[in-house]
Amino acid sequence: MANLKVELCGITLDNPIIPASGTFGFGYEFAELYDINMLGTFSFKGTTKDPRFGNPTPRIAECTAGMINAVGLQNPGVEKVISEELPKLATCFHKKVMANVSGFSVEDYAYTCQMLDSCEQIGWFEVNVSCPNVHGGGMSFGTSPEAAAEVTRAVKAVTTKPVFIKLSPNVTDIVSIAKACEEAGADGISLINTLLGMRIDLRTRKPVIANTMGGFSGSAIFPVALRMVYQVAHAVKIPVIGMGGVSSAEDVIEMMLAGATAVQVGAANLVNPYACRDIINDLPSVMAKYNINRLSEIIGGCK
């Protein structure tokens, strides 16, 4: 019988499938469609210190084999996440959840993580230093090893739970940034966030989305994501969560062979809300096809 279990910083997941932040809300929305307790866990909507309305509309555009978004971290702020969103989630999800946190200063990151640290439901932090859709924060921290390390140290100083730093692919050398985070105390690395892209409306000759540029995601970015996961997983000693264009059980196996301990599914959820359920259901047959008995044994299996 196929064994899908993996361990992520001391917490056992029933399977490695994690819906990515920004594509799964706070979970209870998808619980109306299927039992989300079948997931390994999920990363909830990116949370900031203060409420954010997000960027002007239009802020989502379709493109070949993917999409561009510039939502801009719309969220109700950490206080409402704690008082309203997490209690709603507790009624339908009975596992540890991953808290995705973003900020506009090192102090913002530390404050938000410290506030969430006391929440029993949270098993891990995913600290987003890689959002390309906000100004004055987000990706600016993830394009420099020194800045990413500074955020890592600040968050680790105020939290008791494992901290994964989510990295941007919009850099020349992602390995140096991952290693800087590891040296600063990160418990794991998440990658990749979206690539920076844009589209132009031929009729108006203006950008399709109001923010001009946004995060490009979807199956088209999978080879880039796989390459970066491979590079980072072979350069650090802490676990890696792989993501970027994952849309099938076969993609999950590839990510794990590249070195990912767990795998996030993002844009595919927006195309098919049952994507994660279907991938989990497909994994045993795909494992059998490739003579895999335990997923944990293939992590980093591509040398």
Rounded Cα distance, 104 and 138, in Å:
6
Q: What share of residues in the chain are helix, strand, coil (percent, to 5)? A: 35, 20, 45
Question: 279 is written with which tokens?
Answer: 């991938």
Name residue, tokens 């390994």. Answer: 40
Rounded Cα distance, 97 and 92, in Å:
12
Rounded Cα distance, 217 and 60, in Å:
11
Q: State residue 275 phi and psi, 5-degree precision.
A: -55, -50
Which amino acid belongs to residue 47?
T
- At 13, is the secondary structure helix, strand, or coil? strand
Residues designated as active site: 131
Task: Centre a 10 Å sphere on the Cβ of residue 173 and count the other Cβ atoms it contains.
Answer: 10
The angle, 0 to 180 degrees and rounded to 10, between the axes of the packed helices 222-233 and 249-258 is: 30
